[in-house]
Structure 1
Amino acid sequence: MRIFVSGPGFVRHNGELARLIGSFDWSRTRVGPISRWPPCLRSAVDVMLGANIQIVIFWGPQFLALYNDAYAPTIGTKHPHALGRPAREHWAELWTDLEPLLKRVLETGETVSAKDRPFYIERGRGPETVYFDISYSPVHDEEGAVAGVFCIVNETTEVKRAQDLERRLAAIIASTDDAILSTDLDMTITSWNRGAERLYGYRADEMIGRSVLALNPEDRSDEEYELFRRVGLGEHVPPYETARRRSDGTLVDVSLTVSPIYGGAGEIVGASKIARDITAKKQFERFQAMAMGELKHRIKNVLSTVTAIARQTFTNGDEERAATRIFDERLASLARAQDVLTTGSWEEADLRTVIDTALLPYSPDRFRIEGPAMSVGAHAVTALTLAFHELATNAAKYGALSRDGGLVSIHWQASRDLARFKLRWSEEGGPEVVIPTRRGFGSKLIERLLASELKGEVRLEFAPSGLICEVDASLRAEAAGR
């Protein structure tokens, strides 16, 4: 217990405020020098300086401020200038709020207290609303009159903000359609929101305290153990698609996200799980797959019918049979282009996949293919597939693919804005190329398809070392010209 010692200061107390109060020129204030302070003020200051809690004293009708070391950080840059000065000078921004509280104590002698009392204050970090637990008590002089206000405060700003955030999160969790639950590390369910009730069919009181494995289909129990293994390592498991069992025994398709829950000391104490019903999405995917399969089947039927008609029409001689064979090959190439589209999104496909599919009839060892990952639109898929078919057919007859050791290089690159691309087909190792005296159907088809359908430019060069085809075209031809 500290003993008050009269004298010019408060030498029995350690700390900055004991030194500042002891050295302050109080003779220039209404309270006068410390040696003339009334016993009630000396006792109040002695108690204040000896306390480890936040205390400020507002003395007399001017409410001169005295405070301890525990209180100083709460006023920021107001310290130390506020010491010994009328409160109105340094608490100006909240004076209309603070003055009535202080006057109430000073004039009535009653104690004013509140929990999480908001104050609008400026303390060097910009204006802010802060919260305090307060207890403002009267300090009586020897005649029983109230001479000052003894204020015990405790800032609760961070706690209040955390509580408000927790309430907002709780409201979000309660109102969301997503199923949100939490478990401890033993997989025991500890919380269950309304979204979980709607998705799984169980009430909260039916599930809290049960194992989360109750939701797993029999063939997916190992999945849960792997999830908790990852959570125990501090991993966040991003959304993935799985299935869970409802209260009626049926399965529901869900997108599941799992994250660790941390305790106050930073240790992992459990897991939070967010599940979203993706039944409609899975149904659409199944319908889409069925529709694509049906479309693919019908396209092949149409192409087969066209092929049969061509074979029945051109059967009179060798030239007709050769023409029919070429026609069949072109239809087969067109069918492969449709396969690429129906296997993907129908709207676009990866350029490398388009090239590999178009060149399926040939050995991959005969090609050197380089270029970045890049998607092309549906019209480009058809045009490029048919063009590569014509180029490869020509190379197999007259160019690099007609001789052992011949090689075809295919290289492409996209423009910086990803709106266009350049592609180069070049042959080497084949017979010496002779410039044709007339343009064949294949050359015309290549130029028409690539220049027209891709809204680009095509250059065919019959170099002695091998055919070169250069294309500068739009990546989204249908958007460019339709």
Structure 2
Amino acid sequence: MHGLQGREMEQLFLLMTDTLPIGVAVLDLDLRLLFINRRHAELNRIPITEQLGHPIRDYLPQVADVVEPKLRFVLETGIPLVRQEIRGDAPGKENGKLFRLASYYPRRDESGNICGILALIQDASIDSFEAQVAEESKQRLLRVLDNLFAFVGLLDLDGTVLECNRAPLEAAGIAIEDVRGKKLWDAYWWSHDAQAGEQLKDAISRCRNGEIVRYDVHAKMIDDSRMWVDFMLAPLRDETGKITHLIPSGIDISKRHDSEAALHQSEDRYRSVIESSDDAIITKSLEGIITGWNPAAERLLGYTSREALGKPITFLFPAPLLSEEQHLLRRIANGERIPPFDTVRIHKDGHLVDVSITISPLRDRNGKVIGACKLAHDIGSKKRQWEALEQALEEKTALLHEVHHRVKNNLQIVSSLLNLQARQASEDVARVLGESQGRIRAMALVHQLLYDSEMMSEIELSEFINRLIALTVASHDTAKLGIKLQYSGPGKPVFMSAHRMIPLGLVINELILNSIKHAFPADWLVGQGPLQACIDIRLQEVSDDKLHLQVADNGRGLATEFNWDAAKGLGTQLIPMFVAQLHGEMTTSSTASGSCFTIALSPKRKGIV
């Protein structure tokens, strides 16, 4: 569970909400609805599709004037509002009234910035049986939270610990009785550091006054080990806005902290390489103005950084070579990388210096070219300089491999959690969780192949599809179902960019799953004689700029009234969305001999999708 952090916890929570009798909704910063579960849609008496992407004023104008100020309060302050009474005219009922209890919580992204709102909605007029079911569902959610490795607690206003979930207790090897009734700063987690205790006292004092406090802290864990925790303390308010309790929470960021430390160390090494490099490193703007000048440039050309910065780089050029710079700047502006070339430059004392120049474009975070970086060195030092650059590249590549490895591991943890949850769930819920596992496995496979690949940005399609089919066969036991899965490819390697592999893997997974679930019902197979149920996946190169992916079966075919726009199943709703992300076009055909789904893809460049 140690790998589960903010984003993964949110995904797992959203997967589980659709079975709850409590309304759940997720809104963005503009109060548009991003997610709504089935119960919330039933409360509103409006189809989910007519609510998604719209602000509350569009689909529930009866209560917008009451709800919108509360939502904006949460967005502006980051303070949750719990059990707010919402009253108004009921949608879809003439002269009907609604009475709901709503709780609004701020959502935060990985950087801790507020990115939206999580709303929990309960019909306050439900009868006692429904209330009991809602409470049981709430308790199930609390048990899930208790099993996630996230720190959550409840404090009195003076800092006394009232409640604490199981994760931080088990991590520290203590029981709730060891901390309940104590001041938080006196608890085991901070006993190693008096300064951490004082910091907590200050945070509690500030939080009592309505401030949300957040910082990273080193906590003591079992066997006197240490863990970096992203710690937050927030006030809990009642319906009148009065602060009644304080809520401490935190997540394990030890791995992230180690990664950031490694990144800072790498940056320090990189800066050290530049400062101590024997090669001159000079940066310039697209107008040819010098913006960077390392000590080696001073040693090579005689000018100090104060003398060189801000001047046009052409003051280093012999007169016959002035036209060279304009030509280079045009190529740099087009994003070209200039191959190494030998030339001469003028030293401060006037003599000519023979140098080998390598020029690379400098880009901002959006990839826009903003300048150029020049490396100038003598011919004899070329090998030594390239070795230093290659070492820096290897460090970045190793770090990227590690990122894919950790993402893959975290997805596998989520898949395992869904598997554990499915064992205790009803058949229908277990089936839904199993389908979610398939989607997660498809995403994890992309990161596994990237981790195993040397290219890091592209994946060979046939290898990916074959491994995805193997995962499907193993997870659904298709041999026991009597269904054969087979794949045929174009006969030569075809690569796809990494960012498009996840939607492609998910759409293949959904199409195969739909065929397994619906193409071969038992009552239909009875009348088909010795038919071998088969799902055929094909990848065909139609032309230099077009690729066809087909998923076909020899089952009973689609219902005559089937329509993608009217499809209600999650899988059939996801498929068009994934195809759109791929910028592809899908066609569907169906006969009494089976169905076929064809997706046309256009390569970005020859040989690469």
Shared fold (TM-score, shorter chain, > 0.5): no
For normalisation by structure 2, the TM-score amounts to: 0.30
For normalisation by structure 1, the TM-score amounts to: 0.37
Greater C-alpha Rg: 1
